[in-house]
Amino acid sequence: MSAKPVREYYGKQLLSKYIKEYSGGEHEFEGRGILVKSGVNDPTSTVTWETLLQDNAWVKETKLVAKPDQLIKRRGKAGLLAINKTFDECKAWVNERMNKAWKVENVEGVLNTFLIEPFVPHEQSDEYYICIVSNRDGEEILFWHEGGVDIGDVDAKALRLQIGLTEDVTASQITQKLLMHVPVERQAKLASFFVTLTKVYRELHFVYMEINPIVVDGAGKITPLDLAAKIDETAAFLVQQKWGPNIDFPAPFGRAEFPEEAYIKAMDAKTGASLKLTILNVTGRVWTMVAGGGASVVYADTICDLGFAHELANYGEYSGAPNDEQTYNYARTILGLMCRTKRDDGKVLIVGGGIANFTDVAATFKGLIKALKEFKDELKAGNISVFVRRAGPNYQEGLKMMLQLRDDTGIKMKVFGPEQDAVAVCPLALGLVPLDSIPDFDPEAKIIHTVPKTSAADKSSTPTTFTSIPPPDGGASSFKGGTVSQMATRQFSADTRCIVYGLQQRAVQGMLDFDFMCKRKKPSVAAMVYPFQGNHYVKFYWGTEETLIPVYTKIKDACDKHIDATVMVNFASFRSVYETCMDTFENHANQIKTVAIIAEGVPEAQTRRLVAEAEKRGVGIIGPATVGGIKPGCFRIGNTGGMLDNIVMSRLYRPGSVCYVSKSGGMSNELNNIISRNSNGVCEGVAIGGDRYPGSRFIDHLLRYNDNPDCKILVLLGEVGGTDEYDVVDAIKSGRIHKPIIAWCIGTCASAFSFEVQFGHAGACARGMGETARDKNQALAQAGAIVPKSFAEFGKKIHDIYTSLKAKGEIPDIPEPEVPKVPMDYTWAKRLGMVRKPANFISTISDDRGEELKYSGMLISEVFHEDIGVGGVLSLLWFRKKLPPYATKFIEMILMVTADHGPAVSGAHNTIVTTRAGKDLVSSLVSGLLTIGPRFGGALDGAASMMTTACDKGMTAKDFVNDCKKRNLLIMGIGHRIKSLENPDMRVVIIKEYAKKHFPKTPVLDFALAVEQVTTQKRSNLILNVDGCIAVCFVDLLRYCGAFTVEEADELIANGCMNGLFVLGRSIGFIGHYLDQMRLKQPLYRHPWDDISYISDI
């Protein structure tokens, strides 16, 4: 959704700030105004009349104007304008209307936002009209010397000036073309002002701006009185800082704004997927959850065409491979709104979509199923039925999951796959046909599309006819219906090769699999470009064999080394695609002749510059916001055509006789399905993309198709918004297109709404006369195209024309080749449950596959919410248990007391020496850790083993000491070089006291303390040292905290967890020593000679 209307308040604020800046102070723009919103009378609100007055004292010093600021047209005629009032009068006027329903022409809505601004005294002759509108070739300025509410038909009377994309308008141009009826003394100032206004318009990515009237008073001051504007929302990453943080895009007047819409919008902004939701009628009976921008419009059209426009509750779409959690949240939002009210006649939820190109249907259904389970009781109580039609990658598994959900929950549900047309589910859901008229999806059935046979009836009578118009002798050059770019000359073949920009391995593998199915001699992908890694190779499958495709960091390198590549498939993001395409056009246009731009959300200004540059260089563009295109048997772009099962089902491995062009990528795959079911298949198909200004247009491809002798039937799937379909109308009328063309523009439902609706594609919104789907369908039909009554009849029209041409002998029989077989990737086969293989690794402590990282099943968000600390995380990852708080606190104590013991111990010494040798942190740390063993730090395991074994045997401390003496064993954990009974180690004291206070029992610690009593009788420094104290206390903790059996605790100790604690704790100190030496910039260490005894005689 690209062009978004902004409030008059924000539009004027932007102009006020930047007109002055961009004119160098020559012009100033009246920008004072206050926005008054619902809640202004609530004393608890942060914005009240009192605060507004405090922040805007000027309102008491001047006369004012008050009016609603809710995208309402002709406010004056609707009685929604208070002029020349005091602040108190404006306040009373606003309060009288705030939160009240108001009807403006045919639209009724609630008034909740008002603008109060200074009143500008002026004469009628001071009012002018100006409008700036973006188009494919630049900006057009419309001006009329009479402005105001009675301006009349401005489209008919306004003077116009077109400014090219790369041109800067001049004051002389404006004066000569637009201001001839303006008094001479005002012309220079107005012209200069309009130059600056146009610059601000472009710099801030406006796409439409109308000021009516704009006033020039006697002193020459220029002031806008009423402003309506739209901004390209996709340009936020470029100019959000200039727009400011407070700019908003309100819903059109008459359509209530819901917090759920804001929630989905916020979720959409944080993901690469596309999530849209617009509430049309919250109490409506018919709700939809449709995948794909084009498909979402088709479903809305069909519901409205069937007479249920007044019951359509929402418009929305989810596409671009949203993950489980995103789909769950999207579905949960819709179900929550749907179940908010009940109806006696029940409600229906239509879960639909075209045939997905790359979205894993089963994966997205997991989130949907989770939401349906959550709302199962509400769905039953509300008599809500669910109707599902989906297809695409892994759709079989997804639909089986839905059938299982129906059996498990009892939710009323019907489930269908690609064996039914996309919208066949609609009349079923609306009760217009019996529920049993269409059979449910059968997981065991195989879908095989066969070429329609020509019957005797077909030969004698055809329900749909088309009279071919002979082409004029002049061919393409004689077509005068519109500007046709050089993009009309590009053709794909079995030898076409491409460069893929972006490390899109799944898409590339899909292209290679398609190549192999089509029996190409060489892979269609010559190379890939990925600037974030060095040059390297990536391995792919070519049938059952493996092949390597080179990856370069620069486009130049890829082009230089692969001169046979003439196509670039550009997967760069919307943020970087402009630069990569410009690089290609400016430096490699002699080689790269077609560029497919996959990215959605490319700013319109950038797209228009790309298109202009491409036409200048003779390069064709498919996109932006496209899935690509496909030439069956030859070449496909990226994910076009979907998975291999859909390639086979739609017979895209060999050419047919029907060529199509579509805006929607998702619906292009649906067209593949419809065409294969109603003819001998697709000859070529292109999705030009859903943006307002696609690179190549319908006419560019339809002219190619018309001139292709293999193509017998043309198919056009247009949509609401834009005027490109009228070039096709002119081409049909002129005879330039003379082959049968079946055409339909989606978006007919727009006329059913009393307010403007922006559909899923950025270009799917009528901005002017003739841009509605109904207008375009009518024009196409009048020109001679075959236009069905609705999308539901699209397939029938194709079938009728195909059988008619077949009967006339114009379409020859095509021998059906053997269906090619390509081995399925192991990963995909495993996902489908077709193969199994033992894993090379098993992990039970963490899982990063879902939406959130898990530690032993505990979500990372819960780790922080419950504040389990480092000790808690260690217990999860080491022991797979959530230990009690006293236990996790003890673990943290151990890490603290073992963190360091000075620079003299062997581990710290080694770390310091290695650091001073210039090694990195990891090397220095490892050098210190490698010293840990039986003589340094490793006494923990030994002490635990010795003390625990003796304690378990029931030995007395004295017997244990005597036994060790007899066997010449040192008692691990006993003895300290410095500390003694008289000078105890405080670390031991802290640990010992904590254990005694918090542990359920401490038998091993008690035994160790008894041993200490025996050993200190010999020497006072034979005390229980810190290693021994930690060891015996940790044994008591594991054994008696309640999380483990004695056997489990002993196994953990035997596995080395004791030394692990010392390693983890001491790593803190070693890293500290490394950082300390680096900070001190210590030189290479050399051990002094006088500290070494040199002995040669031994």
Annotated catalytic residues are 761
- CA–CA distance, 736 with 481 (Å, rounded to integer): 9
Which residues does 904 contact at the CB level (< 8 Å), separation at least 6? none
- CB 568, CB 501: distance < 8 Å: yes
- CA–CA distance, 214 with 224 (Å, rounded to integer): 4
Element (H, E) at 798: helix 794-807
Outline where 836-897 has alpha helix (H): 860-865, 869-879, 885-897
Does residue 624 have a cis bond before it (omega within 30 degrees)? yes
- CA–CA distance, 144 with 159 (Å, rounded to integer): 6
> 761 by DSSP, 3-state: which?
coil
- CB 718, CB 771: distance < 8 Å: no
Find the Cα–Cα–Cα–Cα dihedral 835, 841, 845, 849, rounded to 10°: -50
Element (H, E) at 563: none
Query: What sign has the CA pseudo-torsion 338, 339, 340, 344?
Result: positive
39: left (phi over 0), alpha (psi -120 to 50) or beta: left
Enter the tokens of residue 1048. 């489990």
Element (H, E) at 296: helix 293-305
Which residues does 810 contact at the CB level (< 8 Å), separation at least 6? 712
Question: Which residues in 661-685 are b (16+ Cβ under 10 Å) and which e?
Answer: bbbbbbbbbbbbbbbbbbbbbbbbb
Count of CA atoms in the C-beta half-sphere (13 A) of 902:
2
> What percent of the chain is helix, strand and coil (3-state, nearest 5)?
40, 15, 40
Residue type, 777: N
Longest distance between any two alpha carbons in the chain, whole Å: 120
Element (H, E) at 1079: helix 1057-1080
- CB 527, CB 498: distance < 8 Å: no
End-to-end Cα distance, the chain:
88
Q: Which residues pair with 881 in a beta bridge?
A: none
Element (H, E) at 725: helix 725-734
Selection from 467, 485, 468 nearest residue 476 by Cα: 485
Residue type, 984: P
Outline where 917-1025 has alpha helix (H): 921-929, 939-953, 957-966, 986-998, 1003-1015
Enter the tokens of residue 977. 């070089």
Enter the tokens of residue 566. 């003439």
